Structure 1
Amino acid sequence: MKKNFPGITDNGHQIFQLPTATESITPFELHVPQAAIDDLRLRLSQIRWPDREIVNDWSQGVPLSAAKALVDYWMNNYDWRKFEAHLNRFPQFRTLIDGVGIHFIHARSPHPEALPILLTHGWPGSLVEFLGVIDRLTDPTKFGGSAKDAFHVVIPSIPGYGLSDKPTTLGWNPLRIARAWTVLMQEKLGYTQWVAQGGDWGSAITHALAGERPQGLLAAHVNLPLVVPTTYPDNPSAEEQAAIRDIEYYLNQMSGYADQMNTRPQTIGYALNDSPLALAMWMYEKFWEWTDNQGQPEDALTKDQMLDNISLYWFTGTGTSSARLYWEGVGSTIRNAGFFSASRATSDKITLPMGASIFPGETFHAPRAWAEAAWPDLFYWNEVDKGGHFAAFEQPEIFAKEMYKAFRSFRA
C-alpha cells in the first residue's frame, strides 16, 4: 500500500519527511510530494550560471555545456515518478537500529536454498547502484543462470544517505555502520548464514564487518580492495608501482572533494542542500571521473540513471549528512589525507574469507600481493574487462556473474 508523506514548510520550500522508524520492521514505499518536485523545477529554472571554463576538457571540472545539458534534461525530460515506480517494485522497509532509522530493500529469492547477501553502496552512490542487479541475483534462471546461484538480497541505505535517517550524534563511522548491519542481518532478519559485498564506502564498511567476524558471516567480497600497506615495499614490482602511481594521482589530482568533506562537511553541505545545481555537479563530476567511459559520463550511465541517484539525494536532503561520513570515517583519524588513508590507518589483517573483483575503470588497482598480505584467506580474485568504480551500476550483468562465481563455495 502506497503511503504519502507530506512535506513541511521551511521558508516556503517543501522538504520531504521520512516516517518515524520503530523497532519493528515496517513496510515502506517512496512517494515524494508533487510540491517538492515543483520546487525542484522552479529552482532549476532560476539558476545563475557561472562563466564558461577556460579549457576545452574536464580538467577544471564539469564543462558548462555538459552542466547545462544535464540540467535541461532534468528539468524538461526526466521523470521522477518513473523511478519511484521502479524502486517500489522491490520490498522496502524501515526499522530502528542503534537509535537511527534504517531503510533497506529485502528481496527474497523464489529459490528456497538461496544465500543471503548484504550489498552496501558508497558515495556519491546509493541503493540506486544495485537496482539493476536485484532480479539477476534473486532469480538467475531468468537470465540463463542456475537456481544454485540465487541470493536473498538485502540492500540497506547508509545512515545519512537517501531513505535512512540522518544521524544526530557523533560516531557513525564504518565500524558502527558495520555493527548496525550485523543487527539487521542477525536480529532483524534472522539470517544465520550470509555473505557481504561493497564498493567505495561500502567497501570500507564491508572491511569493518569482515574484521568483526560476526556469527553467521561466511565471507565478504569488495570491488575496491582497501589493502594498501602501511609502508610501501622497498623494491615494488611493476604492478605495485602502478598502484602507487594510482594512489599518488588520486591524492594530488582527485581528492579535493574528499578533503573538503573530510574537514568541513557542513560548509559544503550548505551548497549541496540549497542548490540542486551544486548537488548535481558535485556528483556528476564523479560519474565522469570514476566510470569506465570514453570521455563522457553518459558513455557509462544514462542521464536517467545518474539523475535517479542525484534526485534521491535532493529530495531527501542528504547532501550534507552523506558528506559527514567522510569527517567520521577518514577525517577523524587523518584529517586531509584523502580516501585511501582510511585503508592505511591500520595494519590489522582480516582473517575472514575475502574476495575481490577488479574493474578496469576503478580509481585504484590493488595488486593481488597486497590483498594476499592483508587477507590471509583470499578465496576469490578476478579481473573483468569492463566497468568502473560503480561496478553494479555500470555493469549489472558482469557484477551479478561475479557474485555467482565468488560465493559458490560458501553454499550448503
Structure 2
Amino acid sequence: MELRDFKINVPDGQIADLKLRLRNTRFPASLDAEQWDDGASLAFVRRLTDYWLHRFDWRAQEARLNRLPQFLATVDGHDIHFVYQTGKGPAPVPLVLTHGWPGSFVEMEHVIPLLTDPASHGGDAADAFHVVVPSLPGFGFSAAPAGSGVSAHHVAGLWLELMNGLGFDRFAAQGGDIGAGVSMWLARRFPGQIIGAHLNYIPGSFRPSLTDDLPPVTVDEQAYLDTVAAWSAAEGAYAAVQSTKPQTLSYAMSDSPVGLAAWIVEKFRSWSDCDGDLERVFTMDQLLTDISLYWFGHMLDASFRIYRENRLRPLAFGPHERVATPLGVALFPRELPTPPRSWVERVFDVQRWTPMPRGGHFAALEQPELLVEDIRAFFRPLRRMSDPL
C-alpha cells in the first residue's frame, strides 16, 4: 500500500465563495429567537454566522491541523485520508480510532498525543499506542464512495486492509457514533486480528437475537427499548431523513453553509454535556472547524448516505451468535440512550463497563483525558495478545 503525504489546502476561491454565501444568507423567522425547542436557535445561528464571516480564520485552523501527520492511501479502490502518529514507548499497540457524524478526524486531535506519548502527559510509557485516525469514506478528505453498499460493515473491511497495509497484523479498535459501529463490525468480522474493541457509544442498530429459546427481555432491557422509542420519536428526525432520503437533504446542505451549520450545531448542543450552554463545552472555532470540513469537502450526500447504508446493513445478530473479541465500554452520562450491560453481553464478551462522571456523545472533544484513561485501562491486560512490534 502506497502512502501519499497530505496537507490541507482549501483553494482561496472556495473560501471566498463561502463568505459570499454567508453574507447573502436568508434567515427564517422564529417564534422565539433564543429557544432551541423547535431546533437550532435563530439567535445562536445568527451569532455563529457573524463569527464565521468576520472572525473565524480557516487558514489558522488549517495550519494547526497540518501539524498532524496526514496521509492518503488507496484502499480497495477508495482514497482514504488518515492521521498516523507513531507511539513512544517500549511496545506501542496499534489502534484505529474512528469518528462519526457530525464529527470528523478533528475530534481526535486532543487524544492523539495522550495515546501516543503517555509519558509526556503524566502517564506510563508502557500504555503507548500507534494511532491511526481515518476519515470515513465521504467525510473530511476521504473520497466519496463511487457506489452503494459502503456501510459500517464495509468500512470495517477497509480499516482492516488499511491497518494491514501499515504493517499491523493485529490491532485495537475504538470509536463512538458511526465509529462504534465500525469497531463492533471489526470485532465481529475479524476476531483473529482485533485484540479488543473499546466504545463510547452503542449503536442504536445493535440488536441481539431474541428467539424463544433465549432469555426473555429483562425489565432494564425493556426500559431501554422504551427509552429508545421515545427518543426516536422526539429526537430522531435527522436520522430518519439521512437514512431514507439522504440525496434530497444534501441539496439544501450543499447550497447553504448556514443551513449546514444549523443542522450540525443543534446536535452538538443536544448530545453534549453542556446543560444547554453550547459554548461552555465547545468554542466557536471548534464548532466551525468541524462544520467547515463538511462544507469544503463537497461530499455531504455521502456523509448522509452512510445512515441509509447502515439501515440496510444493521448490526443485527443471529440466534446464539457470540463475538469472542473483548469489548470495553465507557458510559458518558449525557450520551444518547445506552442499553444495560446485559443487552450487550447477549453477544459480546464485555470485559470493562465504566460509568463516567461527566461528558456526552463527543467524548474525545468533551473529556479527552477521561476517555484516554479508560482506553488505556481496557487495553492494558490485552497488550500481551498483540504481536510484538
- If the length of structure 1 is used for normalisation, what is the TM-score? 0.87
Give the conservation status (yes or no) of the 8 Å contact 2:330–2:374. yes
- Which moved further from structure 2: 214-223 or 399-408? 214-223
- Indicate if the aligned counterparts of 1:260 and 1:268 stay in contact, CA closer than 8 A: yes
Q: Distance in 1 between matches of 2:337 and 2:5?
A: 38
In the alignment, structure 2 segments of 5+ residues that lack a partner are 385-389
Please state if 1:310 is matched with 2:291.
yes
Residue identity (%): 40
Which residue number in structure 2 is paired with residue 349 of structure 1? Answer: 322
- Equivalent positions of 1:253-332 (< 5 A) are 253-330=234-311, 332=312
Kept in 1: contact 2:127–2:380 (CA 8 A): yes
Q: Which residue of 2 aligns with 1:213?
A: 190
1:160 maps to: 138
Confirm or deny: 8 A CA contact 1:192 1:215 kept in the other structure.
no
| Aligned-partner Cα distance in 2 for 1:286–1:346 | 33
Residues 291-346 of structure 1: per-residue CA shift (max 9 Å, x gap): 1111122222221111111000101112211001011111x25xxxxxxxx34575
Question: What is the aligned counterpart of 1:111 among 82, 89, 93?
Answer: 89
- Which one-letter code corresponds to 1:216 in the other structure? Q
**Aligned-partner residue type, residue 323 of structure 2:** I
- Partners in 2 of 1:395 and 1:242 — Cα distance? 28
**Segment drifting more, 82-91 vs 159-168:** 82-91
Q: CA RMSD in A?
A: 1.9
1:393 equivalenced with 2:365 (yes/no): yes
1:189 aligns with 2:189: no
AA partner of residue 194 (structure 1): F
Residue 76 (structure 2) aligns with = 98
1:216 is displaced (CA, Å) by 2.7
CA distance in 2, matches of 1:398, 1:302: 20
Task: Give the 3-state SS of the residue equivalent to 2:294 in structure 1.
Answer: helix
Would you say the 8 A contact 1:246–1:365 is kept in 2?
Answer: no
What one-letter code is carried by the residue in structure 2 that aligns with 1:236?
Answer: T
Deviation per CA, 1:10-47: give whole Å up to 9, x if none.
Answer: xxxxxxxxxxxxx5111111111122112111110110
Query: 1:411 is paired with a residue of what secondary structure?
Result: helix
Q: CA deviation at 1:76?
A: 1.2
- Mean alpha-carbon deviation: is it higher for 56-65 or for 117-126? 56-65
Alignment pair present for 1:204 and 2:194: no
Q: Distance in 2 between matches of 1:327 and 1:24?
A: 31
The alpha carbon displacement at 1:82 in A equals 1.9
CA distance in 2, matches of 1:214, 1:63: 45
Deviation of the 1:86 alpha carbon:
1.8
Indicate the SS of the match to 1:351.
Answer: strand
Q: Which moved more, 1:251-260 or 1:48-57?
A: 48-57
- Give the partner amino acid of 2:159: W
CA distance in 1, matches of 2:155, 2:207: 22
For 1:177-224, what per-residue CA distance to the aligned partner results, in whole angstroms no more than 9, with x for missing partners? 1001000011x1011331000111101111111111254311111111
Counterpart AA for 2:379: F
The CA distance in 2 between the partners of 1:189 and 1:101, in whole Å, is 15
Q: Give, in whole Å, the separation in 1 of the partners of 2:318 and 2:82.
A: 30
1:12 is matched with none
Distance in 1 separating the partners of 2:13 and 2:358:
40
What amino acid does structure 2 have at the position aligned with 1:209?
Answer: L
TM-score, structure 2 normalization: 0.92
SS at match of 1:353: strand
User: Distance between the aligned counterparts of 1:234 and 1:301, measured in 2?
Assistant: 42
Q: Distance in 2 between matches of 1:86 and 1:240?
A: 44
Alpha-carbon distance, 1:112 to partner: 4.2
Letter in 2 for 1:359: F
- Counterpart Cα distance in 1 of 2:318 and 2:271: 26
2:127 matches 1:135: no
How far residue 55 of structure 1 moved from its aligned partner, in angstroms, is 8.0
Report SS of the residue matched to 1:49: coil
1:70 equivalent among 48, 53, 60: 48
Bigger drift between 40-49 and 108-117 goes to 108-117
- Structure 2 residue corresponding to 1:403, chosen from 369, 375, 381: 375
2:94 aligned counterpart, secondary structure:
strand
Say whether the 8 Å CA contact 2:8–2:62 is kept in structure 1. Answer: yes
CA–CA distance in 2 between the matches of 1:105 and 1:75?
A: 29
CA distance in 2, matches of 1:251, 1:55: 25
**For 1:362-377, what aligned pairs fall within 5 Å after superposition?**
362-375=335-348, 377=349
